[in-house]
Structure 1
C-alpha cells in the first residue's frame, strides 16, 4: 500500500515539474509580444529552465541523504509553486528568464526526490517498471501539457497558465505534508557526498546507461525547444494546432512506457533498451531525410519524431534502472547524479537547439539524429563484455 501511494505521489509531482517545460510553449509567440522581444529569445526560457533543473540536483540528493526525502520534496514544491505564481508579474525578458531559472531549481528537487522515492521502494526489473510510470507522467506533461496550455491561453490568457500551475503545485505540497514515505537504509551511504559522486561517475556500469538515457532525452528537449518556431512559423500552425500535436506525442510515449511495464520481465532490460534506441535513431533519421527532401510537408517532420519518442520511452526508464544498479554506492546519490547528468545535457542541448532554431527544419533534425547516434554507441558499448 505504501509503495502504491509513493508511486502515485511521485508520478503527480513529476507531472507538475515537467509541465513547466511544455505547458507554456503554445503561448510562446504571445509572451514574446507581451515582452516586446523576438520569439527566439523567449525560447531560451526552456534552456534556462533546464539549467535550473541541472545545477542543484547533486545538492538536492545530498540534502535528502542528510535530512530526509519529505522535507526536501516540500521545499522543492514550494520554490516551484512560488516561481510560477511570480512569473506573470514580470514585464521584461530578464525577469522572465530569472523566474524560469527559479522554476527549474524547484523542478530539480521534485525530479530528484521522485526518483529517489521510487528507488527506495523498488529494485531491479521492478524498478524499471516503476520508473516507466514516471515516464508516462513525464510524457503526458510534455504532450498533453502543451494542449492544456493552449486551451488555458485561448480562454484566459497566457498568465493564467503559470497561476494555475503555481496554485496546483502548492496544493500538492499540502498533500505531501500528510504522507509518510518508506526510506531504504544502506550502510554504504555514510561516505562523504562529493567523493561518493565522483566514485559513481567513474564507474562504467553507471556512466554508459546514464549517457544513453540523457542523449535520448536530449532529442525530446531539442524538439520542444525549436519546434514551436518551425511549426508556428513557416508551417503557419496556430497555438491550438501546435497544442494538438501533444496527443500523438503522448500516445507514443504512453505505448512505450506500457511496453516497458509489460515486457521488461520477459525480455530483459538490455534487449528492450536496444530496441528503444534503435527506434529513436530510425525516427530521427527519417525526420532528417524528410526535412531535406520534402521541406513543405509537416507530416514528415513530426510523425517520425513520434516514433523517436516511442523509442525513448523504452530507453529512459531502463537506462535509469541500469545506471542505479551499476552504481557502486547506494542511497540517493546515484539517482541524483543521473538526474544531474541528464539535465546538464538537456540544458546544453536546449541551448544548441535555441541557437540553431530557424525557419528550416533540417538543422533541428540533424541535431536529433546525431544525439540518437550517440545513444546507440553507448548501448553498443554496454553490450560489450567488461574486461576482467
Structure 2
C-alpha cells in the first residue's frame, strides 16, 4: 500500500476518533434537558470519552504489534460504531456516560492505529509533516465536526449526531475490507510489551516531548469542556452560533498545521516547536486578561483561543515526532505510549475543567495559562535534551 493511501486512511480514522469529542458539544444543553440531568453532569461526557480513549491505548499498541494494523483497526471501529449507535437509546445520564466510555474505548484504538500508520510510513521531518496532516484532520474534526453537529441537532435532534458517527464508522470499515495492509512484526509476549513501555517512559527525551504535546492538547480539552456553557450561558449564544465558532478555530489550526508542513524542514523541529508553545502561552495569557478586565466581551475569549490553537497546531505534531524519534525502542510502542499519555492527561484535565464550569471565563483562562506554561517548560527541556545528546555523540 502506498504511503499516500496509508496517510489518507489514517486521516479518515483520526477524523472519526476526534469528531467524537466535538460533534455533540453544541447539543450539551439539549442533552441535559432530554436526560433530565444537570448540564455540568452532562459536560463530564467529554472527560469520560477521553478516559475511555486513554485506558486501552497501551493495549491497542501491543495488539497492533502482535496481530497487525488492519485487524486491530477494524475491531476498534466496530466498538466505536456499536457504542455510537447505542447512545441515542440512553435512558438516563448514567447510561449516556457509560456508553460514551465504551465509545471512547473504540476511539482510542482508532487513534492509535491512525498514528501508527503514519509512523510506519515516515520518519524525522517527514514524520512531522505526516503528523501535521493528522493535525489538520484533528482540527477539521474539532471545528467542522462541531459545526456539523449543530446542524444535525437543529435539523433532526441530538440523537442524529451519534447515528451519524455510527454510519461513518461502518462506512470506513467497509472501505478497509478491500485494502491490504503491510504485515507487522509480532512482539514476543504480552509481558515484554509492558517492560518496553516502562523503558520508554523513563527516557527523558521521550518524556519531555510527550508532555509538551499533552499539556498543549489540554488547552483544547479545557476550552471544549467549559466553552459551551460559557458562551451559551453567559453570552446566550444559540447552538447554531456556537457551531459557527468551529470555522475560525478550524482556520487557526489549519494555518498552524500548514506552517509545519511547509517550514519544519527549513526551520528545524525544535525551533518551530518553541514558536508554537510560545504562541499558545501568549494566546492563553490574552484569554485571561480579557476574562478579567473585559469579561462581557465574548470576542476576547475565543479570538485569543484561536491564537493558542494556532501555536498548538505547530507544536503538537513536532512533539509527537520528537517523542517517537527519541524513543529507545522502535515499533508502534512510542506512538501508543504518547497517545496514552495525551489522552490520560486530557481526561484528567477535562475532569478538572468540568469542576470549573461556570458562566465566568476566568477559571478556564487561568487553567489554559497553567497548561500552556507547562508545555513551554517541557519544550525548553526538549532543547536541553537535544544539546546533551549532541555532546554525548561528539565524545
The TM tier, using the shorter chain, reads over 0.9
Match of 2:377 in 1: 377
- 2:298 and 2:48 map into 1 onto residues whose CA distance is 28
- Partners of 1:5 and 1:181 lie apart in 2 by 10
> Residue 81 of structure 1: CA displacement?
0.6
Deviates more, 1:172-181 or 1:287-296: 172-181
C-alpha distance in 2 between matches for 1:186 and 1:3 = 21
**Match of 1:365?**
365
| Contact 1:2–1:181, Cα closer than 8 Å, also in 2 | no
- Shift in alpha-carbon separation, 1:80–1:64, aligned structure 2, 3 A: same
Q: 1:60–1:112: 8 Å Cα contact kept in structure 2?
A: yes
Give the Å deviation of 1:386. 2.1
Aligned residues: 388
Shift in alpha-carbon separation, 1:162–1:263, aligned structure 2, 3 A? same
Match of 1:68 in 2: 68
**Contact 2:135–2:257 (CA<8 Å) still a contact in 1?**
yes
For structure 2, the residue ranges without an aligned partner over 5 or more in a row are none
- 1:137-172: per-residue Cα shift (whole Å, max 9, x none)? 001000111110000111111101101110110111
The answer for the alignment partner of 2:114 in structure 1 is 114
Q: For residue 240 of structure 1, report the CA deviation from its aligned partner.
A: 0.3
Contact 1:121 1:182 in 2 (8 A): no
Deviations 1:47-85 (A, max 9, x none): 000000000000000111111110000000000011100
Q: Please give the alpha-carbon distance, in whole angstroms, between the structure 2 residues aligned to 1:159 and 1:213.
A: 33
Structure 1: gaps spanning 5 or more residues: none
Look up the SS of the partner of 1:295 in the other structure.
Answer: coil
CA offsets per residue over residues 327-386 of structure 1, 9 Å max, x none? 000111000000000000000000000001111000000000000000000111111232
State the 1:2 CA deviation: 1.1
Q: Tell me the CA shift for residue 38 of structure 1.
A: 1.1
1:177 corresponds to: 177
Q: What secondary structure sits across from 1:83 in the alignment?
A: helix
Paired residues of 2:65 and 2:184 also in contact (CA < 8 A):
no
Which residue number corresponds to residue 215 of structure 1? 215
2:353 is equivalent to residue 346 of structure 1: no
> Residues 301 and 163 from structure 1, CA distance in 2 versus in 1: closer, same or farther, beyond 3 angstroms?
same
The answer to whether the aligner puts 1:52 opposite 2:41 as a matched pair is: no
Kindly provide the CA deviation profile for residues 85-133 of structure 1, in whole angstroms up to 9, marking residues without a partner as x. 0000011001000000001000000000001111011111100000000
Counterpart contact for 1:124–1:325, Cα < 8 Å: yes
Distance in 1 (CA, whole Å) between partners of 2:120 and 2:277 is 27
- Specify the alignment match of 1:3 in structure 2: 3
Distance 2:91 2:243 in 1: 25
Asked if the contact 1:78/1:106 (under 8 Å) is kept, the reply is yes
What is residue 163 of structure 2 aligned with on the other side? 163
- 2:83: which partner in 1? 83
Alpha carbons of 1:271 and 1:188: their partners in 2 closer, same or farther (altered >3 Å)?
farther
Residue 332 (structure 2) aligns with: 332
Contact 1:284/1:372 (8 A) holds in 2: yes
Deviations 1:260-312 (A, max 9, x none): 00001111100000000000000000000000000100000000000000000
TM-score, normalised to structure 1, is 0.98
Compared with structure 1, are the counterparts of its residues 188 and 59 closer, same or farther at alpha carbon in structure 2 (3 Å cutoff)?
closer
